[in-house]
Amino acid sequence: MKRANMAFTGIASFGRCPVVQPEGDWKADFAVLGVPYDAGAGYRPGARFGPRSIRDISTRFSFFGGAGNNGYWHIGDKKPYLADVAVVDAGDTDVLYLDVDHCFESIEESVRSILEHGAVPVILGGDHSISYPVVKAFGDSQKDLAILHLDAHLDFRDELLGVRLAHGSPLRRESELPFVTSAAAVGLRGLRHNLSDYNDALESGVVVVPASEIHENGLAHVFDILAKTWEKKRPVYVTIDVDFLDPAFAPGTGTPEPGGFTYPALREILKFAASRYKVVGFDLVEVNPMVDTSQITALLAAQAVIEFMGFISESRKSG
């Protein structure tokens, strides 16, 4: 019997693509990895359920052969994406409560494994602290890596009573890595930044673009700054904190901040990044289903991941 393969049937891997073990025997262009960890959240916990919620709704985007599809056609761009692009779901990293070393070692090990397989790691958080061990895993393969940090928050706190790995610190920790040579933080707003973190970021060479500058001058302002900061084709790791978006569009997150961005704005930035730079990996973090409404934040996250993979593979195809 011929199967209809409707989106609501089957096992909910990301986009219903094949499931592998990171260290197993497989070959793919992209490997999706869940990091169900939220011990780094300083306010509302629940991002540990992010990967599961994003996977659940991502079955609407079953574009990877398993459901009989082969990529998708975009009605705005009038072109196909993700045709003949292989994506696997590498499952979740291991998590052990109260043992940050265990959790972060598992993240680093899984990402290293994905990189050794020659695939682009696509990470579903988890709170934002998980970006640091993810980026650390690039130490073997990258000597001159830039970070594009899309977030309402600068995430440059040094420590709180000795705690250095929470979700307010990832950009600082990443900037301290010897192979991370440049960073740009875009979309910043909210009332909980402080001057000393800001000054430290500038001193470390982080390019800071507050949301207000973008609202005033448009997205061209962001593209101008990035084009001046980074030469074409340079390796860039992109980290998307879902609170970059306005809470109206992405309410399901731990630390929402009014005055954010729309999905089309995020899409344009991802498209720009993929077409101009060599995106070596990315994460999307801070989706918190415990405070989501009708799964709209998870849906937005799943679509952003799909579209970004489409832009990256498109850019790699055209060299």
Q: Which residues bind Mn ion (CB under 5 A)?
A: 128, 151-153, 155, 241, 243
Task: Enumerate residues 6+ apart whose C-beta is below 8 A from 208.
Answer: 154, 184, 185, 188, 198, 201, 202
Q: Smallest distance, Å, CB 255 to Mn ion?
A: 6
Q: Which is nearer to Mn ion, 22 or 51 (CB)?
A: 51
**Could you report how far apart the first and last alpha carbons of the chain are, in Å?**
42
Q: Which is nearer to Mn ion, 153 or 172 (CB)?
A: 153
Q: Which is nearer to Mn ion, 241 or 246 (CB)?
A: 241
Q: Which is nearer to Mn ion, 92 or 241 (CB)?
A: 241
Q: Smallest distance, Å, CB 280 to Mn ion?
A: 20
Output the CA torsion sign for 33, 39, 43, 48.
Answer: positive
Q: Which is nearer to Mn ion, 43 or 73 (CB)?
A: 43
Q: Which is nearer to Mn ion, 108 or 241 (CB)?
A: 241
Q: Smallest distance, Å, CB 120 to Mn ion?
A: 21
In whole angstroms, give the CA distance from residue 64 to residue 86. Answer: 7
Q: Smallest distance, Å, CB 5 to Mn ion?
A: 37
In whole angstroms, give the CA distance from residue 51 to residue 47. Answer: 8
Q: Smallest distance, Å, CB 256 to Mn ion?
A: 9
Q: How big is the chain, counted in residues?
A: 319
Q: Smallest distance, Å, CB 178 to Mn ion?
A: 23
Q: Which is nearer to Mn ion, 152 or 306 (CB)?
A: 152
Q: Smallest distance, Å, CB 174 to Mn ion?
A: 12
